[in-house]
């Protein structure tokens, strides 16, 4: 299991073949020695997975998908992609449980099936968890996170192929971020839940939600965080590089 700092670029429903050119600088920089400690994972839309795999082939950058269907075998699921297809195209990761997909109907049970399918195909999972504003205001964060973890990881015995992404929903794309003290408290809380459930197994937790090239200076102070899941700011290579450089320097 790597001790590197994760920088996961979630491109969401953005990007075309032209925007693929912009990652050239990231690829070149990633080959430099000072980037050795950074684990860069690009998660473009499905339409660009193949191109990203080809383009990043001779670099240390890895590619992931943004979601998958829970069924492993091919079948009549219009518009869906299985973890097996993602694996075969050469991607190594898949984001599962992103709040934007939970909003589209992904329940904890569905997410659990997706995680099982991804792991059975030897993909690593970026498992998103997080509370919304109402839950936060009602002091339900702890309960929500515990439920997402317990139900999402039912039947999962090992977490070496899972990266936990703590993404408070109210922080995603809003520019709002909790204080470092509060964030550290939540990360330790998640670690505690994982320790109870998975005993001595090592866990890796990244933070996501409005991470940018300015607030990274502050966020990187939290040593309990193993990296960042970056949405909007990752689509601009200069900003993404800035985030990486400011964290590892």
Residues that bind ligand PGA (CB under 6 A): 10, 167, 172-173, 208-211, 229-233
Instruction: Please identify, using beta-carbon distances, which residue of 45 and 232 lies nearer to ligand PGA.
Output: 232
182 a catalytic residue:
no
Instruction: Please identify, using beta-carbon distances, which residue of 167 and 213 lies nearer to ligand PGA.
Output: 167
Query: Which residue sits closest to ligand PGA, CB atoms considered?
Result: 231
Distance CA 152, CA 208 (A): 18
Q: Whole-number minimum distance, CB 8 to ligand PGA, in Å?
A: 8
Instruction: Please identify, using beta-carbon distances, which residue of 52 and 166 lies nearer to ligand PGA.
Output: 166
Distance CA 11, CA 69 (A): 19
Instruction: Please identify, using beta-carbon distances, which residue of 111 and 198 lies nearer to ligand PGA.
Output: 111
**Burial class (CB within 10 angstroms; exposed 0-12, middle 13-18, buried 19+) of 10:** buried
| Active-site choice (100, 131, 135, 167) | 167
Q: Whole-number minimum distance, CB 10 to ligand PGA, in Å?
A: 4
Q: Whole-number minimum distance, CB 144 to ligand PGA, in Å?
A: 17
Coil, strand or helix: which one is 208? strand
Q: Whole-number minimum distance, CB 70 to ligand PGA, in Å?
A: 21
| Active-site choice (69, 70, 98, 100) | 98
- DSSP characters for 29-73? HHTSGGGTTEEEEEE--HHHHHHHHHHTTTSS-EEEES--BS--S
- Cα 168 to its chain centre, rounded Å, is 13
* Helix ranges restricted to H, the chain: 17-20, 24-30, 46-55, 83-89, 99-102, 108-120, 133-137, 141-152, 180-198, 216-219, 237-248
98 a catalytic residue:
yes
The residues assigned a catalytic role are 98, 167
């Amino acid at each position: 299991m790597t001790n590197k700092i994760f920088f996961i670029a979630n491109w969401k429903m953005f990007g075309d073949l032209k925007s693929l050119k912009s990652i050239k600088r990231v690829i070149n920089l990633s080959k430099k020695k000072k980037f050795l400690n950074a684990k860069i994972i690009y998660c473009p839309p499905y339409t660009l997975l193949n191109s990203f795999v080809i383009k990043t082939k001779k670099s240390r950058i890895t590619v992931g998908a943004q979601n998958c269907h829970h069924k492993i075998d091919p079948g009549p699921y219009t518009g869906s992609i299985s973890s097996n297809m993602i694996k075969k195209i050469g991607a190594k990761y898949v984001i599962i449980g992103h709040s934007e997909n939970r909003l589209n109907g992904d329940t904890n049970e569905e997410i659990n099936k997706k995680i099982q399918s991804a792991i059975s195909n030897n993909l690593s999972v970026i498992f998103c968890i997080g509370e919304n504003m109402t839950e936060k205001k009602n002091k339900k964060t702890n309960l929500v996170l515990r439920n997402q973890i317990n139900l999402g990881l039912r039947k999962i015995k090992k977490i070496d192929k899972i990266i936990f992404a703590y993404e408070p929903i109210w922080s995603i794309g809003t520019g709002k971020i909790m204080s470092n003290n509060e964030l550290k408290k939540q990360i330790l809380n998640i670690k505690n839940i994982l320790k109870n459930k998975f005993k001595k197994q090592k866990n890796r937790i990244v933070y996501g939600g409005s991470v940018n090239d300015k607030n990274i200076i502050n966020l990187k102070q939290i040593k309990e965080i193993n990296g960042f899941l970056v949405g909007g700011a990752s689509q601009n290579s200069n900003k993404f590089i800035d985030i990486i450089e400011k964290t590892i320097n």
